[in-house]
Amino acid sequence: MRGFVAIRAIGRLLATAALLAAVAASTACQEEKSSVLPPRPAVSAASAPSAPQPSPTTPHDIVLTAYLRYWTVLSKAGKSSPDQARSLLKPYATGDYLDHLVDGVRRMREQGREPYGKVVPRVKEVRISKNDALVIDCQDVSGAGMADARTHQRIPGSASSKPTANIEASMKRSSDGRWRLTGLKIKEAPCTPPSS
């Protein structure tokens, strides 16, 4: 049963961004800082600019940049071999969550499937507490689904029935200073994206 859940989860990462993993809980004794993003247009992770961008300087911007890059890389990883997927994702995910993603890629390949389309992250909030962060995203998943890996044609019924996915992504700052995802949770409650 776990293998089937992992396959559906990887497919839904692009269709509904639904990999079910525990959200790292912050302890009550940690100082929590929360920042709400100002309204701005949605940025597609798959169409992020390739021109060099200024390096983010605030903790909020550093976490946000790592989160958005994760989605760009995830799409590429989903069409790669498991070993390539691990190499691609290692700068953006860690621990059991990274293993879960790679297992999902392996099972997707065994079933002859690959990600189709793209998701559009629409981050509503970033909460940072020392070396832990939580990103709240009302992601547009209307243009994503699964495809047949041979034909690259979308598999009917693989897209989400909901246009958005209410995501909570847990992140941790690693010893090398990089922020990486440690888990991703889809909340059942509908979400409203930030104003553009």
Higher pLDDT: 82 or 19? It is 82
Q: pLDDT at position 35, please?
A: 38
Range of the domain at 139: 2-187
User: Residue 81: pLDDT above 50?
Assistant: yes
3-state secondary structure of 57: coil
Assigned domain for 192 exists = no
At residue 24, the pLDDT reads 23
Does residue 194 sit within a domain?
no
Q: Is residue 154 part of a domain?
A: yes
Give tens-digit pLDDT for 36-63.
Answer: 333 333 444 444 445 566 677 899 999 9
Write down the pTM of the prediction.
0.74
196 lies in some domain: no
pLDDT for position 50: 52
Give residue 42's pLDDT. 40
SS3 label, residue 10: helix
CATH number of the domain bearing residue 118? 3.10.450.50
pLDDT of residue 49: 47
Instruction: Provide the pLDDT confidence category of residue 1 given band limits of 50, 70 and 90.
Output: very low
Better pLDDT: 5 or 60:
60
pLDDT tens across 103-131, in order? 999 999 999 999 999 999 999 999 999 99
Token output for 43: 């940025």
What DSSP line would sit under 68-111, residue for residue? Answer: HHHHHHHHHHTTS-HHHHHHHHTTTB-HHHHHHHHHHHHHHHHT
N- to C-terminal Cα separation, the chain:
40
What angle do the packed helices 59-77 and 95-110 form, to 10 degrees?
Answer: 20
Does a structural domain hold residue 69? yes
Number of domains in the chain: 1
